[in-house]
Structure 1
Amino acid sequence: MASSLPPDLFDQTTLISLGAVLAILFAALGLSRKVLSPSTPSSLRFLFIWHAFDALIHFIVEGSFLYHCFFSSIPVAEARRLPNFYPDPHNYLGHTDRVHGSQAGGQNPFAQMWMVYAKADRRWAGVDLAVVSLELLTVFVVGPMAVWVCYDIAKKNLRYNIVMIILATAEIYGGFITFCPEWLVGNVNLDTSNFMYKWVYLIFFNTLWVWIPLYAIYVGSADIMNAFKVRAATTRTKKIR
């Protein structure tokens, strides 16, 4: 049975954070209108917007998470008084007496945003080595690849099919590696006691990076398979001649 809703479920930080995500989405939409040809198919227009949104989320939002994991820290004694205290792995960055992550970010807006999300998944309050390792790849590899896809779609370079499939596969794999450790230990760090934490933070926001990458794989694969069919037809025609 679900518990009563937390009193801070829709506090100012939560509303600003959700508004920031919408602002990033509108920025991606505006970019698509600026750089894409009017003749761009709706499927590619959608995927351009998604990859622009994806890149901005990785660089701005997840980049801020990494920043706090490496550059924000407070003494362990102080951190123990925090509501979502998440201890550092032993000897993280050579320290044993401090904790890092969003929990140590104080009033920084991005730290506050991640502490809102940490109410649903407390790993994001501090440093989880699996999460940090994945986010390093996400920010420094996946983010630039998303920009690459946008560039190729805008330039009508069919290479976007290959890059898009590689990127989508990485996104799906990353999502699995993020949550599989929790499934194996009974979701000890997850709070699914209310609609917002379970269905909005954990399920909706995370499965976006499953369903849309699957669609990207479908679109890219269909175009590649069509090219194979054209090549096969051309080869048969040459043989007949």
Structure 2
Amino acid sequence: MAKRLLSEIKHDKLALKHVQFGDVDGMKWREFCASLWLHTVRTMGGVWRCHSTTENLSKRSPSLTRLLDIMGEAALFTKVTVYSLLACVAQFAVGFAFAQKWGNKCSAVDRWVLVWLFYDAIVHFTLEGPFVYMSLVGNVATSDNLLAELWKEYGKADERWLYSDPTIVSLELLTVVLDGSLALLLVYAIIKDKHYRHFVQITLCVCELYGGWMTFCPDWIIGSPNLNTSNWLYLWVYLVFFNGIWVLVPGLLLWQSWRDLRRMHQYPKKKNR
């Protein structure tokens, strides 16, 4: 049975060699697999007489539906997906290396703060900077370069990044110029133990949190028509994780600033007594 099925698939009239599997994702891939299976079963004269929906398949063969789900998830991971995720890991590694080199005299906590700040600045200047340029001279969707491919991958989860959405471009312009510069200034303030360290840190964190809120709130209000949450990669990795860390870390840094400022305020009072 299995050998006959593979033979039918190999010589099938659908001419599979002309199908670009990397361009088929999510439900399109699942529907394609279902259609292929049904076509093959019919040509074999099988006993199944299902029609064109995967719903009918799930009633007759849950294991087949699970197989199609797995194949659909596998189709999400194209070469661009892997390279994009590896690029993010590489940026973090560079930030970590910079923090170890220039923050060797700082406390352990501040060294991790430096890791984040270097990573933050690298992302703003090397990823979001080119995005702003591409969006001002055209848009990501029509651009043809390595960084455009990375943003096209993210655009599968939020298509506003593909077509120069005014709100997104405005926020990113502010993020690159202001947040990137503040991140580097804060790196200097921490390494040199400057008195304005927490003023800059609070300002940067508020800017980051404001940027995150304004990135998603306008789309939430109108029902999130531009967000694709149909699978775990787009929802939990692209949308939640890669945006959530710019909420979590600034929140923790605000708490650190509040704690340190309170300590500095209490210490002179105890000294005067």
User: Normalised by the size of structure 2, how large is the TM-score?
Assistant: 0.72
C-alpha distance in structure 2 between counterparts of 1:26 and 1:121, whole Å: 26
Aligned equivalent of 1:61: 127
Structure 1 stretches lacking a partner, 5+ long:
72-99
User: Is the Cα–Cα contact under 8 Å of residues 120 and 202 in structure 1 kept in the other structure?
Assistant: yes
Aligned equivalent of 2:204: 167
Q: Based on CA coordinates, which of the two structures has the bigger radius of gyration?
A: 2
Structure 2 stretches lacking a partner, 5+ long:
1-25, 28-68
| Aligned: 1:103 with 2:141 | yes
C-alpha distance in structure 1 between counterparts of 2:171 and 2:268, whole Å: 39
Deviating beyond 4 angstroms after TM superposition, the runs of 4 or more aligned structure 1 residues are none
169, 184, 190: which one pairs with 1:147? 184
Q: Kindly state the Cα deviation for residue 186 of structure 1 after the two structures are TM-superposed.
A: 1.0
User: Is the Cα–Cα contact under 8 Å of residues 165 and 220 in structure 1 kept in the other structure?
Assistant: yes
User: Is the Cα–Cα contact under 8 Å of residues 68 and 104 in structure 1 kept in the other structure?
Assistant: no
| Aligned: 1:224 with 2:261 | yes
Which string of whole-angstrom CA distances, capped at 9 and with x for unpartnered residues, describes residues 79-98 of structure 1?
Answer: xxxxxxxxxxxxxxxxxxxx
Greater RCO between the two (CA within 8 Å, min separation 6)?
1
Letter in structure 2 aligned against 1:105:
S
Task: Report which of the two has the higher share of helix.
Answer: 2
Aligned equivalent of 1:94: none
SS of residue matched to 1:103? coil
C-alpha distance in structure 2 between counterparts of 1:215 and 1:10, whole Å: 32
| Aligned: 1:50 with 2:87 | no
Pairwise mapping of residues 120-135 of structure 1 onto structure 2 (< 5 A)? 120-135=157-172
Alignment size in residue pairs: 205
| Matched-pair identity in % | 35
Aligned equivalent of 1:13: 80
Aligned equivalent of 1:74: none
Pairwise mapping of residues 108-123 of structure 1 onto structure 2 (< 5 A)? 108-123=145-160
Letter in structure 1 aligned against 2:142:
A
Question: Once superposed, what is the RMSD of the aligned Cα atoms?
Answer: 1.5
SS of residue matched to 2:225? coil
SS of residue matched to 2:226? coil
Q: Kindly state the Cα deviation for residue 175 of structure 1 after the two structures are TM-superposed.
A: 0.4
Q: Kindly state the Cα deviation for residue 156 of structure 1 after the two structures are TM-superposed.
A: 2.0
User: Normalised by the size of structure 1, how large is the TM-score?
Assistant: 0.81
C-alpha distance in structure 1 between counterparts of 2:192 and 2:184, whole Å: 12
